[in-house]
Amino acid sequence: MKPSRDIDRLIEIMAALRTPGTGCPWDLEQDFASIAPYTIEEAYEVADAIARGDKLDLKDELGDLLLQVAFHARMAEEEGSFAFPDVVEAITAKLIRRHPHVFGDTRDLSPAEVKVLWHRIKAQEKAAKTAERAAAGLPPKEDDQSVLAGVPHSLPALTRAWKLQARASTVGFDWNDARLVLDKVREETQEIEEALADGDKAAIREEIGDLLFVIANLARHVDADPEGCLAAANAKFERRFKGIEAALDAQGRTAKEASLDEMEALWQDVKRAEKAAG
């Protein structure tokens, strides 16, 4: 079987890999649950390639992510649920339905009007999906009527915290000033101090969770992605720590051989150098 630019070849390859007797033993033993972590991982690798500006890697990682879609669709086809063309039809229908200002008669909308229209269409879709499930004899999704319904549990925790609080804000359950959220941050840090003083590990974990939840909300109030903020902080820490290691290496030493005070002094040197470099 030769490679091809045609999506049909990918579907054929996936079918071959899942064919009992002649397919790949590893692929054959997989199911939706076992493949799901790989799907999430591939999405992160796409994001990583974008963050690094590596278009060659991005091409490969998008292919890996597309494979995940083909894999899930093949397993669904085997059990008679749906097939890859149904996935394509569903997303094309959704895009057309959600963009009447592009594909329909609704024209010349401002970005704010598009956002209002988008939410109205999503609400209509939710009602239609609920009716479709009922007609098929399926139970409604858990908490389907909740304002918070539909925020995936598989999202990174900070992102999910951001989305949950954004949903709650749509019905007015929100602070109206970022400085009020900052007051809540201070309150949560005080509660962590109290838990530390008590030595209650369960309370400490709970209070740290509360602090992270409020931090996510603070990020939302200033229109910042909390995952992006933390990713940038991770990159900064990594860059500066490697600067410490480079300085020590120039002395013929390793981080294990340096004291905390020495490493802190080098950390400050790296910070000053970064600031001077602009």
pLDDT of residue 118: 85
Tens digit of each residue's pLDDT (9 = 90 or more) over 144-155: 678 888 788 888
The two three-digit tokens of residue 274, written as one number: 């970064």
Are 90 and 114 contacting, i.e. CB atoms less than 8 angstroms apart? Answer: no
The 10s digit of each residue's pLDDT in 203-248 is 999 999 999 999 999 999 999 999 889 989 999 999 999 999 999 9
Burial class (CB in 10 A: 0-12, 13-18, 19+), 12: middle
Contact criterion met (CB below 8 Å) for 49 and 41: no
Tens digits of per-residue pLDDT, 178-193?
A: 999 999 999 999 999 9
pLDDT bucket at 130, cuts 50 / 70 / 90: confident
Where is average pLDDT lowest: 58-62, 135-139, 266-270? 135-139
Rounded to a whole number of angstroms, the CA Rg of the chain reads: 25
70-91 average pLDDT score: 97
Q: Confirm if 235 and 216 have CB atoms less than 8 A apart.
A: no
CA distances for 151 relative to 40, 87, 160, angstroms: 16, 21, 7
Q: Provide the 3-class DSSP secondary structure of residue 192.
A: helix
pLDDT band at 132 (very low <50, low <70, confident <90, very high): confident
Q: Give the pLDDT band (50/70/90) at residue 107.
A: confident
First vs last Cα of the chain: how many Å apart?
Answer: 54
pTM: 0.66
Closest-CA residue to 73 (of 11, 120, 122): 11
pLDDT of res. 140: 73
- As a whole number, the mean pLDDT across the chain is 92
Could you give the CA distance from residue 252 to residue 240 in angstroms, rounded to a whole number? Answer: 19
